[in-house]
Amino acid sequence: MLSSRVRLVPTKVQCVHSLICNSSRSFMDLKALISALNDFASLSFAESWDNVGLLVEPSPPHTVNTLFLTNDLTEEVMKEALQKKADLILSYHPPIFRPMKRITWKTWKERLVIQALEHRIGIYSPHTAYDAAPQGVNNWLAKGLGVCTSRPIHPSKAPNYPTEGTHRVEFSVNHTQDLDKVISAVKGIANVSLTSFSARTDDEEQTRISLNCSQQALIQVVAFLSQNTQLYQKTEILSLEKPLLLHTGMGRLCTLDESVSLATMIERIKRHLKLSHVRLALGAGRTLESQVKVVALCAGSGSSVLQGVEADLYLTGEMSHHDVLDAASQGINVILCEHSNTERGFLSDLRDMLGAHLENKVDIILSETDRDPLHVV
């Protein structure tokens, strides 16, 4: 009996050690987690008017064991997050959007902030950064259409310029003594990078100067050139543009491999979004048997993104009455599914993608109480 007990001891120790190891892996420091979330989808993709990123931060250090995903952070959802002991809430829509002048118990959004801080829960919102991301909300929405190729309707620009500066100034200098004076003057201006190369114009050897400079430096460069017109000729000033990102941006223009009837497309969309009803505006001269080949879509509120886009069908959550009339008058069918119904289903995919991206270091759970506030009755 004694030897049997002795043999059991290593097994017990091994189990305890395993539990300790598993527990030690199941958390991340808040700052490290936020950095990882920003790597997953850069906040630079977000629209300039949006309020994205870490909106509520408990005093550091803050450890995150449970990441709680929701489309909208309501008081009901906050109650659920507290019950499930969330350490960080990722709310697709930012619960803080307009500036708050006070934090009291008077309004529901103020109460959310108070409860989050009292219970040491961070709040992070990606919103339009996830709309634009290649693996984001609009790509998920396009999955319900069938096999298709898609591209952003409004492509995002890269966060940085391809070279230093925002402008390029190029001009030619004829004489060596002038060249030395120009280079010396330009090197005295901050935020200017200079390159030079030989060029032949009208059988005359010249030195071509190329300057990359910031907006502020450009003013100083132009001022110098204006005061020394005898030193140079053939000047060009170019505005440098940030390059467009191929698969990143607002909305998606989707071309189906095979066209289908509008009735078939409606059923596909309802199945993908798990809805029993959608709202439909038939385009002028269209019927349920009309063929759909090109779909322009935008999760959430799509009026500004879809306006003027040529397509057989607009798919979005909501549009204004007059924008629907404009689209229908052009023979474009419009399907409206209510705002958050075109977004919420993405969270299931997001949970899996973040699990892999974060190497399963935190528990990721979906809200069960989050839902669109509008219902068909």
Phi, psi angles (nearest 5°) of residue 172: -110, 145
Distance, CA of 355 to CA of 147 (rounded, Å)? 26
β-sheet with 204-213: strand ranges across: 192-201, 204-213, 167-173, 233-239
Residue 55, H or E segment: strand 53-56
CA distances from 152 to 248, 298, 371 (A): 6, 10, 27
Unique residue bearing structure tokens 């071309």: 255
47 is known to lie in a ligand binding site:
no
375 is known to lie in a ligand binding site:
no
Work out the end-to-end distance of the chain between its first and last CA atoms, rounded to an integer number of angstroms: 70
93 is known to lie in a ligand binding site:
yes
State both tokens at 201.
């114009």
Distance, CA of 57 to CA of 50 (rounded, Å)? 19
131 is known to lie in a ligand binding site:
yes
Residue positions in the annotated binding site for a divalent metal cation?
A: 93, 131, 339, 343
Residue positions in the annotated binding site?
A: 93, 131, 339, 343
